[in-house]
Amino acid sequence: MYLNKEICAKCKGECCKQSGCLLSTRDIRGIDTINKFLERKAIVISSISYNSFMMFAFKITDPLHDFIRLQHNQYMIKAIQLKKYDNVYLIKTRSKNQDVFETIDDPNKVGEKLASGKCVFLGKNGCKLSDTKRPYGGLQLEPNIRGIKYCKLHFSIIDAALEWLEFHEELDKIFEK
């Protein structure tokens, strides 16, 4: 866990203004939890075509997402496991004015859709969620006093997508409703 509320307060939640946090399978107690989050419009489930996901994941140059620089080969090997399906699922806290389901087929739209605005849980004093209720993706973002471009992700979109493979068939059913 990389919480540093002092640094986050100084930057005024710049990361939270860009996007919600990635959810991990650690954040749920099964598919029922996902359904409850959907009913409350707390999360968004993104279905991203495999090819678009791979093109996006391996062209990121923004230092906020520069997890690839040192671990490129490790992540490429992991990401190949995602090819089992035609699409990849990511779940994150919803941004304001964002639907709870989105399909992304255009590799040029992946970043725009994933970073689609202010998180619904961002309040004027920071995250409205307690530390114990925050999504794993938010807890694994290491803030840096120099600003968002220097923050470090310790839970990447590839890590998240790999975790959601376990629930792929169930997410297909939810997504089709």
pLDDT value at 177 more than 80: no
Any domain includes 144: no
Any domain includes 172: yes
Any domain includes 149: no
pLDDT of residue 172: 94
3-state SS class at 130:
coil
Any domain includes 161: yes
Distance of alpha carbon 154 from alpha carbon 117, whole angstroms: 21
| Domain span at 56 | 17-123+156-176
pLDDT of residue 151: 78
Residue 11 pLDDT class (50, 70, 90 cuts): confident
Residue 75 pLDDT class (50, 70, 90 cuts): low
pLDDT of residue 150: 75
pLDDT of residue 60: 56
Contact of 44 with 95, CB cutoff 8 Å: yes
Residue 73 pLDDT class (50, 70, 90 cuts): low
pLDDT of residue 86: 92
Task: Give me the half-sphere count of Cα atoms (radius 13 Å) on the Cβ side of residue 94.
Answer: 18
pLDDT of residue 70: 46
Cα-based distances in Å from 74 to 34, 54, 69: 29, 14, 11
pLDDT of residue 124: 82
Give the model confidence (pLDDT) of 38-72 as tens digits. 999 999 999 999 989 888 887 754 444 544 444 55
| Number of domains composing the chain | 1
Give the model confidence (pLDDT) of 102-156 as tens digits. 999 998 899 888 888 899 999 887 889 999 999 999 999 888 777 777 778 889 8
Any domain includes 128: no
